[in-house]
Amino acid sequence: MPAAGKITLAHKRAMVVKEMIIEGVGMIVEGVNPMVIRDKLAGFLVEKAKPAKGGAKEEKK
Please indicate, yes or no, if residue 58 is contained in any of the structural domains.
no
| 4 within some domain | no
Separation between Cα atoms, residue 21 and residue 51, nearest integer Å:
24
Tell me phi and psi for residue 60, to 5 degrees. -85, 135
Residues 13-37 pLDDT 10s:
999 999 999 999 999 999 999 999 9
Helical spans, DSSP H, in 1-61: 3-30, 34-49
In a domain, 1, yes or no: no
In a domain? residue 9: no
**Is the residue at 55 inside a domain?**
no
Query: Residue 35: inside a domain, yes or no?
Result: yes
Q: What's the pLDDT score for residue 45?
A: 82
Q: Phi then psi for 44, rounded to 5 degrees?
A: -65, -40
pLDDT the model gives residue 15? 93
Q: Is residue 52 part of a domain?
A: no
Domain carrying residue 30: 16-47
How confident is the model over 28-55, as a mean pLDDT? 81
Domain membership of residue 54 (yes or no) is no
Q: Domain count of the chain?
A: 1
User: How far apart are alpha carbons 20 and 38 in whole angstroms?
Assistant: 11
Residue 22 or residue 58, greater confidence: 22
Angle between helical axes of 3-30 and 34-49 (0-180°, round to 10): 160
Mean pLDDT of the chain: 83
